[in-house]
Amino acid sequence: MKRKFKVWGFIKFLLVMTVVFCCINKFKVLYLENFQQNTSNENVLEPTSLNLLKNTDSDLILVNKKNTVNEDYIPKNLVKPNIVFLNSCTKEEMQLQSKAAHALEELFKGAKEDGIILLGSSGYRSYQSQVNVYQKYYNENGKEYAEQYVAKPGTSEHQTGLAIDVTNESRCFDKTSKEAQWLANNAYKYGFILRYPEEKTDITGYNYEPWHIRYVGKRVAKKIYKNNDALEEYLNEN
């Protein structure tokens, strides 16, 4: 009788623990779903601007926190530039609009001739890809960090196919690196600008990014470089 009692008691213990375990798991699932829903609805899926851009074919399209593009917008002439990309890049990110792609090939070639090795990091990103990127940084680093460094979906230059992040072989692309210094001084020669300069954060709305370049064409890039302007300033003056 004592043995039967012990067996029955053990079975009841297992049943109770199973119920408790199931309840804990259900709570975790509900918590995570609620967290993801809150962050997605509040911070990702609602761009901060209602100024929807219509002239999306221009090389001078201004996409920022106040100027958005539709979530279904995809550039018509995306191609893969003949450069070396990071192994972690997706096929989507290895694309730019054709003008920008050809100009980037020349930029990388010019850099190599000067002893500078650059790598492609992230070019075109669709609206949905930007949702994923923003959500990742929001979850890992919080809202304040995400808003300083990552564009909300619909407000990212990457969706235009005219912008790309580049890096170096050491993956340490700060302003003290020779690659970042070369890019800052030479990108304009190939039609690119540093989109988020260190001294223009109050205008661009983003922290300094020495790796993020934007194609605007050689004539405009030279003017922006000579006048030390942000793209917003150039467009306001012209």
Three-state SS for the chain is CHHHHHHHHHHHHHHHHHHHHHHHHHHHHHHHHHHHHHHHHHHHCCCCCCEECCCCCCCCCCCECCEECCCCCCCCCEECCCCCECCCCCCCCCCEEHHHHHHHHHHHHHHHHCCCCCEEEECCCCHHHHHHHHHHHHHHHCHHHHHHHCCCCCCCHHHHCCEEEEECCCCCCCCCCHHHHHHHHHHHHHCEEEEECHHHHHHHCCCCEEEEEEECCHHHHHHHHHHCCCHHHHHHHC
In the residue annotation, 42 being an active-site residue is answered as no
| Separation of alpha carbons 75 and 96, rounded Å | 9
CA atoms within 13 A on the CB side of 139: 15
- Residue pair 230/197 in contact (Cβ under 8 Å)? The answer is yes
pTM of the complete model: 0.78
- Residue pair 220/231 in contact (Cβ under 8 Å)? The answer is no
Count of beta carbons in the 10 Å neighbourhood of residue 70: 13
Out of 71, 92, 209, 232, the active site residue is 209
Reading the chain (238 residues) residue by residue, the pLDDT tens digits are 545 445 555 555 555 455 444 444 444 433 334 434 444 444 444 544 446 666 667 899 999 999 999 999 999 899 999 999 999 999 999 999 999 999 999 999 999 999 999 999 999 999 999 999 999 999 999 988 888 888 999 999 999 999 999 999 999 999 999 999 999 999 999 999 999 999 999 999 999 999 999 999 999 999 999 999 999 999 999 8
Domains of the chain: 45-237 (3.30.1380.10)
| Separation of alpha carbons 54 and 137, rounded Å | 29
Pick from 168, 217, 176: nearest CA to 225:
217
Q: Classify the C-alpha dihedral 150-200-121-189 as positive or negative.
A: positive
| Separation of alpha carbons 28 and 75, rounded Å | 40
| Separation of alpha carbons 170 and 14, rounded Å | 54
- Which pLDDT does position 28 carry in this prediction? 40
